[in-house]
A and B are shown apart, each in its own frame.
Chain A
């Protein structure tokens, strides 16, 4: 009865390549049915087991189980392979050109002046400065007189003023467009008691238009009034601010200057950000770029708003937003800021 054993071996040899070479899950399954199914060839042999002798029965039985187990294993292996191949094929059919351009949305932008202004406001807020905004139409008192610039003072030449037609303040003085953000200082000091620590950003206006002047531009004004405020504080605050806003440990230089509302006054220069102070066209070879004005609040200003100069001192500063934006973004023409050309705005 070695026939049965041989037969099993033959069936195994016959089935194995059929399993391994099945090209589809259906074909594989059919092969499984043909050999291992209820009416399959190996099952058929097992059905004849009862007719065998007692000593052969276990041998043939064992062989049959072994063959069945081997084939089951081949089946599983082939099935796994076929499934993986099917997935692979499906993936390949889904292949796309990932280098095609991305889905485009309209690209929004924030005006560079707004971006710089926000950055500065955030910086000053983190340093503990309040943010105030004042009116853009001002009277002579807030814009000039209260800032120690009396009528007919030559310092008025520094700021050519736009006047508003037909509108007057309570005193009957013509209203004007503020020439600087400094009047906000006055308003804040009239309404608050020291300590005062504030910045005031916003547009200002001067009757001037050429390559380096636009009739409207933006400033941020700062004021700190408290007991014992001094020049070393002023220096430290502005150095900290400038290094943070230009994200660079650049040299900062203070030069004595003149403003009617501060005494002592200074202009602040930073090391040229384009040439690292080596000297270039932008800094006219000096290595320095003028960036802002500042000083200790003039006692006449304090007296006008009723702050006791024996008890308090303070410093004030003003910085042009356009200038900083030009330096930060490498913008070479001031007028671009207000032309609203899409080729300009879309870059920010």
Chain B
């Protein structure tokens, strides 16, 4: 809501506070000030002056010599404007003035004649973008008035809460300011009811019928005949403009003026364009197209509240008038509308059509039916003042009656409990009364009746808020509540979060956070068959689908920022993913590629492969104390990974994720040329299992272990896990450790074979093992492996 300081002063003649002081008070009373804009107020040495005489400049055809009365003296001014007239008033920039364009006014000689100032246009005063001539000031303004007093204004852009429809006008904000500064409100003066004895062409035969009485609580109307539609006077144009409203004509401007003044959205129909002698306020029963005053065609739906001329809507009630009854230059007779419509109905229709007008904004927040008559009187007198015309004596009044006045009771003890301070009842009463609430204080309880415009005060807490709003939060001392002694609860997801993120940081991984929605295009690069949930109203196609996977966005980043990732990258994300049924899970996914270390002088780094990721996740599982297993994926494979370079992460027999090389087809869809490895796991399940695997101490032997190596030559089809299983199946009690230290395929052994070199450690708690004892067991094992796996010792 834009508040004009000069307009506010019309309601509060005794207001002495500056705009900044008002802004501060309103701010501390819950009305945030978005901006304060002053204009015209910096025009010192510019006054209203009257041209008392004009003669032609003797040396220049296009210049005139004007004698200009400033109220103190008569000055000679040389003027080149064509519209300068004797007896008219214009702004005069006197010597010493600096105009907004930077022009400093000095005594100047123009073709031999001294000029003691400059008569100005709106443009020169910085009030308009362009101007045709001098700025004509109405006769009513007295000579000598400084222009900043006459024109200058400060506009406060006040942010108002949605429950305070009553402050969406100068009157409404004046009430708040009056309460804050302890001032009295002066209402705009209304001329006596225009008497009309003339016969009315239409009025006698015109009627209004409210059909939908639930949605239209009140409707007031009056006819004005013989209006002359024309441009608005300058003061009205200026005032509306300062509030960001465009001047249309005197009638439309009058309706806007009343809305800004009193908070009632009002409307004027051109009677001449109405086909019937009755307007009906009703809800539509069928869909139909309707052209609103902004010349857009809207599709109306059954249930929309409209004003109808017969069966033809002429206005979308409370939102916008129709082009078919729009006031224009040929309008002679007006039907005025001042009404109270049901907020919900207005809001529903406005939302559906995507229209937000000053009118709908106010109706949605509720207008006060008790001041409808005032608004109609104000509108009528303003229109008559601006356009001539005569108002009908008959006023159509439909009024279902004031909403019942509710009295809200608030006990002093409740107030003190919520505020946390001792409060004086007298002070509370004083505050409430200054806000126009009527208060009775009986039995330590306030019985408060709010005025009709304060529809937001429904319960005791609303009154507590009024008290706090007025008294200020600074009046409340801060006291910490007494500490509660109990351990804090936290979900596993949240509890593990930090340790996982620290782990990845220390492993050189960078955490990403993407929007939870991405594009179908990105998702389909990952999996053309992917299923996911779309947003019904996405901002754009790039942000249209809730992510069922995290890796697509990470791969998209790898491609997007490939320029920075030449030596490699390590990225991960830990976020919520959404199934196509809308189920939520937390996922932990990451990608890596490139070198083991950044490129540097010190040493040549190795290129990372699958086994780096495998080690990383093993380390993470150990860190989180989760006993999950990494298993070869014959039956558990993920189609997103290279079929022969992936493992499944299994927890309690369930696959919770994968580690592997991204499938080359996916990489090519993302236009990525380097090999990329990834891990992708169900974080919620992981977090739930975290810490469950308790460490158990195992005693160790003081006796030295005995080491024995073996290099086995095996068929390539035999995996390391088979070798390990075969060794473990022998249940050799002394065997404490098995380490693989080399894998070889090549010329030195037969094709289709590979060699695995293992280092085994034998150890007994009870005694020191002799070579003979160890050899017997070790070679026995080798024999067994020969039988089980067809393994031979290399070089034997």
Mark A residues whose CB is within 8 Å of B. Answer: 100-101, 103-111, 113-114, 118, 121, 125, 128-133, 135-137, 152-155, 157-158, 162-167, 174-175, 177, 195, 197, 201, 203, 205, 207, 209, 214-216, 224, 226, 228-233, 235-237, 239-240, 253-258, 260, 263-267, 296, 298-299, 313, 337-338, 340-343, 345-346
Contacts and interface: CB of A to CB of B under 8 A. Distances in A.
B465 A264 contact: yes
The 4 closest A-B pairs by CB, nearest first: A106-B508, A258-B161, A230-B420, A232-B420
Contacts of A263: 459, 461-462, 464-465
B122 to A, nearest CB: 29
Interface in B88-119: none
B478 A239 contact: yes
Contacts of B507: 108
B757 interface: no
A104 B536 contact: no
B514 interface: yes
A230 B417 contact: yes
Contact of A258 (B30, B539, B543, B564): B30
A165 to B, nearest CB: 4
Contacts, number: 245
A236 B479 contact: yes
B90 to A, nearest CB: 36
A152 B418 CA distance: 30
A17 B734 CA distance: 66
A163 B536 CA distance: 5
B421 A232 contact: yes
Interface string B597-609: 1101111000000
B536 A174 contact: yes
A137 B582 contact: yes
Nearest to A265: B465
B215 to A, nearest CB: 13
Given A114-B497, A296-B461, 9 more contacts: A104-B598, A105-B597, A110-B501, A131-B490, A155-B163, A164-B534, A209-B539, A214-B515, A233-B479
Nearest to A176: B536
Interface string B415-452: 00111110000000000000000000000000000000
B483 interface: yes
Contact of B505 (A109, A133, A235, A298): A109
B584 interface: yes
Interface stretch (B192-200, B276-284, B468-476, B718-726): B468-476
B516 A136 contact: yes
Nearest to B598: A104
A33 B474 CA distance: 97
B644 interface: no
B32 A267 contact: yes
Given A155-B163, A258-B30, A338-B515, A131 B488 contact: yes
B511 A110 contact: yes
A209 B502 CA distance: 32
Interface stretch (B58-66, B139-147, B341-349): B341-349
A138 to B, nearest CB: 10
A264 B508 contact: no
A340 B28 contact: no
Nearest to B460: A299
Given A108-B508, A164-B582, A224-B481, A152 B348 contact: yes
A216 B515 contact: yes
A250 B762 CA distance: 66
Nearest to B347: A152
B417 A313 contact: yes
Interface residues on B, range: 35 or more
A240 B480 contact: yes
A344 to B, nearest CB: 10
Nearest to A229: B481
Of A236, A298, A299, A343, chain B has the most CB atoms within 10 Å of the CB of A236
Contact of A230 (B27, B419, B517, B533): B419
A65 to B, nearest CB: 52
A125 B161 CA distance: 33
B480 A255 contact: no
Contacts of A265: 465
B748 interface: no
A105 B488 CA distance: 37
Contacts of B502: 110
Contacts of A235: 473, 476-478
Contacts of B510: 108-109, 342, 345-346
A82 to B, nearest CB: 36
Interface string B477-495: 1111101101011110111
Give the most central of B478, B584, B603: most A CB within 10 Å.
B478
Given A121-B494, A341-B561, A264 B597 contact: no
27 contacts: A108-B508, A128-B483, A136-B576, A136-B578, A137-B582, A154-B343, A155-B163, A163-B535, A164-B533, A164-B535, A164-B546, A165-B535, A165-B536, A167-B533, A167-B582, A209-B539, A215-B539, A216-B515, A230-B418, A232-B479, A255-B27, A255-B32, A258-B161, A258-B164, A263-B464, A264-B464, A264-B468
Interface string B695-734: 0000000000000000000000000000000000000000
B763 interface: no
Nearest to A154: B162
A114 B481 contact: no
B489 to A, nearest CB: 4
A202 to B, nearest CB: 8
A133 B476 contact: no
Given A114-B501, A257-B32, A104 B597 contact: yes
B30 A255 contact: yes
A152 B343 contact: yes
B473 A236 contact: no
